[in-house]
């Protein structure tokens, strides 16, 4: 079954949000997980 471009775009946006959320969480805990003078 061929998917519509809207459906593909929606799924891409969802996975992009997952990527951004991962990056934001890591940025928020960066001070705890990275050594002081890294």
Partner 1 sequence: MAFLRVFGKFLISVGVGILMFVAWTLWGTGFYTSGQQNDLAAIFDRSPAVKPFIDPGDGSTHPPKGFSPNASEAVFRLKIPAIHMNGDKGFMVVEGVGVEDLKKGPGHYPTCRPGFERPLCTEFEETWPGENGRVIVSGHRTTYLHPFYDLDKLKKGDEIITETKWGTFTYEVSEVRIVRPDSLAIAIPSDSAEIVLTTCNPKYSASQRLIVFGTLVTD
Q: How many residues bind partner 1 (CB under 8 A)?
A: 17
Query: Minimum distance from CB of 36 to partner 1 (Å)?
Result: 6
Query: Minimum distance from CB of 4 to partner 1 (Å)?
Result: 18
Interface with partner 1, residue 23, by CB under 8 A: yes
Query: Minimum distance from CB of 2 to partner 1 (Å)?
Result: 17
Query: Measured between alpha carbons, how far is 29 from 35 in angstroms, rounded to an integer?
Result: 12
**CA atoms within 13 A of residue 4's CA, in its CB half-sphere:** 3
């Amino acid at each position: 079954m061929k998917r519509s471009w809207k459906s593909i775009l929606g799924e891409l946006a969802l996975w992009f949000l997952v990527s951004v959320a991962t990056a934001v969480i890591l940025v928020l805990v960066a001070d705890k997980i990275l050594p002081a003078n890294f």
